[in-house]
Amino acid sequence: MKDYQPVNCTFYDYMEHFCIRKEKVPLIYRELDEIKTLENQVIFDLSGGSKGEYIHLKPNGIEELIRMDQLISVGDIQLSDFDSASCTV
């Protein structure tokens, strides 16, 4: 997997929104050389560190982490709609 590319702050805010509201959303993401789709998923947590920021899901009852820069879309939010500039504080 490529080095982590921080996601745009506004995109991250949307992930927080979905997590807090526990909305069921479809996800499309990259895993190695494949494009994967998950329907009706609840993002139940977010985490981050030096190796990336992650959404936490439980498809089929088993916790799965997806690195945010591998997301293509969550609900109707497309990662490509946001510039690649990360947040600076």
From the candidate CATH numbers 3.30.470.10, 2.40.10.10, 3.40.50.880, 2.30.30.520, the one assigned to the domain spanning 9-78? 2.30.30.520
Q: Which ranges of the chain have pLDDT less than 70?
A: 1, 85-89
**Residue 65 identity (one-letter amino acid):** L
pLDDT at 88 (0 to 100): 58
pLDDT at 49 (0 to 100): 84
pLDDT at 86 (0 to 100): 62
pTM of the complete model beyond 0.75: yes
